[in-house]
Amino acid sequence: MKTRTLGTLEVSALGLGCMGMSVNYGPSPERDEAIAFTRAAFDAGVTFFDTAQVYGPFANEDLVGEALEPLRDQVVIATKFGFDIDPADPRRRAISSRPDLIRSSVEESLRRLRTDHIDLLYQHRVDPSVPIEDVAGTVAELIEQGKVRAFGLSEAGADTIRRAHAVQPVAAVQNEYSLWARDPEPEVLPTCAELGIGFVPWSPLGQGFLTGAVAASATFGDDDIRSRFPRFTPEALVANQPIVALVQEVAQDAGATPAQVALAWLLSRGEHIVPIPGTRRLSRLAENLAAADLVLSADDLRRLDEATAAFSVAGARGSGHEHYG
């Protein structure tokens, strides 16, 4: 597997988004199966694993911690703080980055991850009630203490990134980015490139939509987060099919799969970009990782770039309430 850098962290060019092994996409796999899958991802070349305190909550960090404990010195683990979660009812949560909560969250994450340090610690969502300088300063203290190696932001805007970076260098920004979610391009991506900050696209395959595996007639159960997302309403699925058709056409011309084309397009956008597709199937994992070696032609890249930039995507991205803080 080729490698890229996020700040001072060297990671596989494609990471693994681990959330779906615990929550949000229907019934989760058995724990032993998920642990074996995570270790198989490492054997296949993945060294960058992404989790978060709120995934579960807590369950995904615990799973990732057990899976990677024997491999700890060979992998980069990213996790996130930023929610005040009611321990009596974990479904009750509120955005919060109070310094005391950051510190306690990190202690809990270290315990669940079975490690003495977190390689990359993200603020999961920007908290408008806490100055980003205070957040960055708190993480800087944790870095000084050796509990954290690098600082990241998720769903942050350009101004927030600059302000945080001035206090504690930001290693990576994780925002949604794909062929149907190009929101970071006007301001966030140029800011990251200017400051030498890595960029980690979440949902790089559009939560499965860009693979062509989500039919226009698809429906989702209550335990699938897509049942609540605007881009997965019946009307939006029909309206957005031209994007899938385009990716499928390019894939056929390139002798690749739609998922590989979508990932290769992202990788072509800059050496500082490290997508983290999530999957629970070994066949999909192998398919996704092969995208690191796929080189699309200049004509294919132009077709993808121009057509998707001109297309008006139906439905708000993410939960419908996503915005850069």
Residue 63 parent element (H or E): helix 59-68
**Are the CB atoms for 300 and 253 separated by under 8 Å?**
yes
**Are the CB atoms for 198 and 171 separated by under 8 Å?**
yes
- Is the CA virtual torsion 188, 193, 197, 201 positive or negative? positive
302 backbone dihedrals φ, ψ, rounded to 5°: -65, -45
- Is the CA virtual torsion 119, 122, 124, 127 positive or negative? positive
Between vectors from CA 124 to CA 16 and to CA 179, what angle results, nearest 5°? Answer: 55
Of 179, 184, 177, 176, give the one whose Cα is nearest residue 258. Answer: 179
Helix %, strand %, coil % for the chain, to 5? Answer: 45, 15, 40
57 preceded by a cis bond (ω within 30 of 0) = yes
- 25 given a catalytic annotation: no
Amino acid, res. 255? G
Residue 120: strand pairing partners: 78, 150
CB atoms within 10 A of CB 255: 8
Which residues are annotated as catalytic? 55
